[in-house]
Amino acid sequence: MRCRLGLKECPKNDAGILRCFPKIEQPFGMVIFGASGDLTKRKLVPALNRLFEAEILPERFFVLGAARTRMGDEEFRSRFNTQPDLLKRFSYTRVDYQNPDTFKSLKRVVDDLMKRFGVRNLIFYLSVPPDVYVPIIENLSKAGLNTETSRIVIEKPFGKDLKSARELEQVLQRSFGEHQIFRIDHYLGKETVQNILVFRFANFIFEEIWNNKFVDHVQITIAEGIGVEHRAGYFENTGLLRDIFQNHMLQILALITMEPPSSFNGESFRSERVKLLRSIRPFPVEDLENWIVRGQYGRGTVNGRVVPAYREEPGVSKNSSVETFVAMKLFIDNWRWSGVPFYLRAGKRLPKKVTEVAVVFKRIPHSIFPNVPSKDLEPNTIIFTIQPNEAISLEFQVKRPCPGMTPQLLSMDFRYEDYFGVKLPDAYERLLLDVILGDTTLFMRRDDLEVSWELLDPVLKAWESDPVRFEPHIYPSGTWGPKEADLLIERDGRRWRRP
Ligand SMILES: NC(=O)C1=CN([C@@H]2O[C@H](COP(=O)(O)OP(=O)(O)OC[C@H]3O[C@@H](n4cnc5c(N)ncnc54)[C@H](OP(=O)(O)O)[C@@H]3O)[C@@H](O)[C@H]2O)C=CC1
Ligand SMILES: O=C1O[C@H](COP(=O)(O)O)[C@@H](O)[C@H](O)[C@H]1O
């Protein structure tokens, strides 16, 4: 099938990197608040660099870093390993996020850059901890920078709870139109996450079995081997539930379970996603421990390296009760999924970095094979390996090539890199492109946030109200979390996959 560029094959450069986005015509300026931080260095600038190398970015654009850290243009540029011609478009200015006067100076700097580069469209990227969003938005408005042609990108976790998320939305709506607001969850930019939709809705056979008549349970794992790194300033005020579940986990769950939208573009896709989130059963706070397990990594060994406990990390309180691991069980109360348990887990300092979804089907009702009871036959499973080694696998039974009738489980695997022969574009490449183009399809809508916080707020409040009862269970780094997380699924007669 030909793609929107009319190509039957995905073009790639000699490094095997996918190069098939159309060149953008309209000029833009991007102001990155918090540009001295981790996201800018690890994700935003590398994504801009790849778009630049692919000659996708327009001739006229600039990037202005804005943060409190004192540095000049050259020091800012020296932080990044990118094409020199790209760095020529980078500059830096100091701002105090709380001080309106510094935003007046910022406007002077921006106006000058807009003249120099012939730019009208401004993008403000808030790559700062959530606590700082509101003052930045209000000061952009006071300085008159929130023009009709400007756009604003808000990073997850979109506030800290339902109340602050609503306050953030009110401030946002006062300063920008809905079409100008890009609430980013970068998992939606991942090719493998988007492919869940193509797998489900471009193939007839899977949708017919994608329900409680055939599915026994679903497991979603978002595991990381890294710890909090140098992000204690953010993470100590956030925790794993806000950092990963309120956004990435719930978005993946929604794509796996939502009803088919009438169209991918426009509001239909986003509406079906929100409809699904609304059907998740609220957690019973009276016996929350039976539904949600909190963990915090202790000392241990990851990939052969001895690592410190969370509480020993720089910037972390010595008696911090912030969770670095969460496992939960939930139900989706609708016709399609009624009665099917969903087991979700995410954490830091686990044995490896892997994100996968496993749709586990029911066992056969009766075995016709001598000495092979149905309980010994592993069920069919469809596994979406979101990252790394991106793939989709189907596990099924075949006959072992020997006398008798002995089934053997094997896996049929589609691996992106083997099949397409390209390295997948990073999520931020696609999402930055969509921001520049003004396409909000892969971004969160305000009701996405409303619903996800409505679901998790009672959990956060319960944890805060009884810190002793909900003290996180310490687990050794390099393990799959506290044993309580295993009990969560094992008491239902199931077990976590070891991806
Ligand atoms: N890092 C990641 O992998 C990802 C991060 N995100 C989101 O992106 C945003 C930024 O993340 P990240 O770059 O990792 O964050 P950082 O902790 O690196 O903070 C970014 C910048 O914000 C400023 N900052 C840090 N703490 C405070 C504070 N308490 N008050 C005011 N300013 C502060 C600092 O700049 P200065 O002091 O110079 O002003 C810092 O360089 C967050 O909302 C995060 O959830 C989303 C996906 C992935
Ligand atoms: O949003 C976040 O995501 C990263 C993991 O992103 P990935 O694309 O590498 O899976 C996580 O490390 C970070 O804590 C969180 O803020």
Report yes or no on 147 lying in a domain. yes
Task: Report which bound ligand comes closest to the CA of 232.
Answer: 1
Q: How far apart are CA 478 and CA 350, in angstroms?
A: 5
pLDDT beyond 90 at 459: yes
Map tokens 């009672």 to a residue.
458
**What residue owns the CA closest to ligand 2's atom 4?**
244
Assess whether 388 and 346 both reside in one domain. Answer: yes
Query: What's the gap in Å between 228 CA and the centre of ligand 1?
Result: 12
- Of 113, 140, 155, the domain-final residue: 155
Mean pLDDT over 12-27 rounds to 72
pLDDT beyond 80 at 355: yes
Report yes or no on 441 lying in a domain. no
Assess whether 150 and 291 both reside in one domain. Answer: no
Query: What rounded mean pLDDT belongs to the chain?
Result: 94
Residue of 38, 128, 236, 243 with the most ligand 2 atoms within 8 Å of its CB, for mutation: 243
Assess whether 151 and 192 both reside in one domain. Answer: no
**What residue owns the CA closest to ligand 2's atom 7?**
187
Is the CB–ligand 2 distance for residue 426 below 6 Å? no
Q: How far apart are CA 382 and CA 258, in angstroms?
A: 17
How many CA atoms, within 13 angstroms, populate the side-chain half-sphere of residue 441? 14
pTM for this prediction: 0.93
Query: What's the gap in Å between 446 CA and the centre of ligand 1?
Result: 22
Report yes or no on 166 lying in a domain. no
Assess whether 130 and 250 both reside in one domain. Answer: no
C-alpha to C-alpha distances, 346 to 46, 221, 287, 293, 294, nearest whole angstrom: 26, 6, 21, 11, 10
- Of 139, 155, 171, the domain-final residue: 155
Report yes or no on 177 lying in a domain. no
Report yes or no on 351 lying in a domain. yes
Considering only CA atoms, which of 424, 432, 386 is closest in space to residue 19? 424
C-alpha to C-alpha distances, 398 to 155, 358, 362, 411, nearest whole angstrom: 46, 20, 17, 10
Q: What is the pLDDT of residues 404-423, one digit of tens each?
A: 999 999 999 999 989 888 77
Number of domains in the chain: 2
DSSP 170-201: HHHHHHS-GGGEEEE-GGGG-HHHHHHHHHHH
Report the SS3 class of residue 459: helix
Considering only CA atoms, which of 349, 412, 359, 415 is closest in space to residue 387? 415
Domain that holds residue 470: 188-426+446-490
Q: How far apart are CA 127 and CA 34, in angstroms?
A: 5
Assess whether 275 and 327 both reside in one domain. Answer: yes
Q: What is the pLDDT of residues 55-105, one digit of tens each?
A: 899 999 999 999 999 999 999 999 999 999 999 999 999 999 999 999 999
pLDDT over 70 for what percent of the chain? 96
Assess whether 211 and 336 both reside in one domain. Answer: yes
Report the SS3 class of residue 319: coil
| Residues 6+ away with beta carbon under 8 Å from 275 | 258, 259
151-155 and 61-67 as β-strands: parallel, antiparallel, unpaired? unpaired
Residues designated catalytic:
248
pLDDT value at residue 159: 87
Q: What angle do CA 394, 249, 47 make, to 5 degrees?
A: 90
